[in-house]
Amino acid sequence: MQRLLEFNWAGVVDFLPELMTGLYYTLLISVVGLAIGFVVGAITGLARISRFKILYGIATVYIEVIRGTPVLVQAIWIYFALPLIIQYTLPSVAAGIIVIALNAGAYIAEIVRGAVQSVEKGQNEAGRSLGLSSRATMRHVIWPQAFRRMIPPLGNQFIISIKDTSLLSVILVPELIFQGRLVAANHFNAVEIYTTVAVFYLAITLSLSIILRFVERRLERRA
């Protein structure tokens, strides 16, 4: 108890600018990376149920490679190895966005595939019987039903990806963990700083959970 009283919690305020910088980059990479990841995942997920074997094969290889390797390894490869291949050094933030987008996209692809395949086949037949094309049936009949079923697993994946941004400090992305480590190393206040960082992550994930539950309820009312 005496040791706890020695912690300088008020001193954390002095380092809020550094931590807020880390929060900014964490949110930036999360939002942009997940937005791109959702597009990649939607396209790849639909390719996984495509009749075209080439599309199916490319999508399958991408998903298996990403899901079969740790996100930390992906970050190191994209930041340190990829520039040797393309002869261009990626900024750390851009590399971080690519990592989150590619990693989340692979998992979102499987969410999309499962949700679309869970819609009864009769829905597709009903759409075609009304004279809709395959694309129009997917857009107006299948996709709205599948999207409602995606919300819970998408929420879980978004939260996982946000927490995965903490691994990007290894490639010098100035996100929350990176900034927290700098402050803690220079001022020897690890408990206060890392506790504050944990609270920031908790606030982000709880806020996202609340938003997703709200969206899910709204979609259920419209169904």
83-112, pLDDT tens digit by residue? 999 999 999 999 999 999 999 999 999 999
Looking at residue 144, its pLDDT comes to 84
Cβ-based neighbours of 196, under 8 Å, separated by 6 or more = 12, 19, 180
Domain count of the chain? 1
For the stretch 157-185, pLDDT in tens is 999 999 999 999 999 999 999 999 998 88
Res 2: pLDDT: 46
Task: Report whether pLDDT(34) > 70.
Answer: yes
Q: What is the pLDDT of residue 223?
A: 61
Q: Which domain holds residue 100?
A: 2-222
Mean pLDDT of the chain: 89
Which CATH number covers residue 209?
Answer: 1.10.3720.10
- DSSP character for 1? -
Q: Is 135 or 155 the better-scoring residue by pLDDT?
A: 155
Indicate if the pLDDT at residue 1 is higher than 50: no
Q: How many CB atoms lie within 10 A of CB 218?
A: 10
SS3 category, 132: coil
pLDDT for the residue numbered 9: 66
Please name the residue that has the structure tokens 């595939």: 113
DSSP character string of 106-139: HHHHHHHHHHHHHS-HHHHHHHHHTT--HHHHII
Q: How many CB atoms lie within 10 A of CB 145?
A: 15
What's the predicted TM-score (pTM) here? 0.90
Share of the chain above pLDDT 70, in %: 94
